[in-house]
A and B are shown apart, each in its own frame.
Chain A
């Protein structure tokens, strides 16, 4: 149980375009989903927290107009990187939390490369 998927696993896009990453909780309802960014050989940096049906809460220094997060249902959250630039290239990881638990379950991550 408690499986989280991400799609796509890898994506390459051109500078200036937008790309959407999906995060799904496959066998549970997630009231809260989290989006992280991980640079090579570094730790996970929390970008934002999203609660189903409400606006995401962004961490300090994260541009909310650049990283659009939507959590329209209890099983799906999306992260859209708008007007992507090469410096947005990174590994993006989502996690989901059960309403009855404090623990987060992680997706397998999405590698974004902006050319």
Chain B
């Protein structure tokens, strides 16, 4: 069975600084998807970034980028120029490719606080 581990329950970063959130996963699959979701105090789940495992290039979305190391089964999220609005819970998620149900497996989350 697949598992997703986020080893940092809480982190803080100064506004405008850079922070990296870690995520590791365990799977025997070769094709899969990885995601980072943000859950602010409103509790709405917001997709931050996605990565297809077959793509070697790391995904980037504005200030958010990932370091995808397939062999190491690592998928960290880097937030550059942190903003107060980045304060939220961040969940890493795994999904098998071509699996009929397309289920997410979520990590336990990292609570990020951006300090003014």
Contact = CB atoms under 8 A, between A and B. Distances in A.
**Chain A: interface secondary structure?**
strand
A108 B33 contact: no
Count class of interface residues, chain A: 20 to 34
Interface residues of B, number: 19
Given A42-B108, A43-B108, A108-B42, A49 B47 contact: no
B104 A104 contact: yes
Given A108-B42, A108-B43, A108-B44, A43 B102 contact: no
A93 B102 contact: no
A53 to B, nearest CB: 15
B45 A102 contact: no
Contact of A103 (B42, B50, B103, B111): B50
B102 A104 contact: yes
Contact of A49 (B43, B50, B97, B103): B103
Contacts of A109: 43-44
A106 B103 CA distance: 13
A91 interface: yes
Interface of B: 33, 42-45, 47, 50, 91, 95, 97, 101-104, 106-109, 111
Interface of A: 32, 34, 38, 41-44, 46, 49, 57, 91, 93, 95, 97, 102-104, 106, 108-109
21 contacts: A32-B102, A34-B104, A38-B43, A42-B108, A43-B107, A43-B108, A43-B109, A44-B104, A49-B103, A57-B101, A97-B102, A102-B95, A102-B97, A103-B47, A104-B104, A106-B44, A106-B45, A108-B42, A108-B43, A108-B44, A109-B43
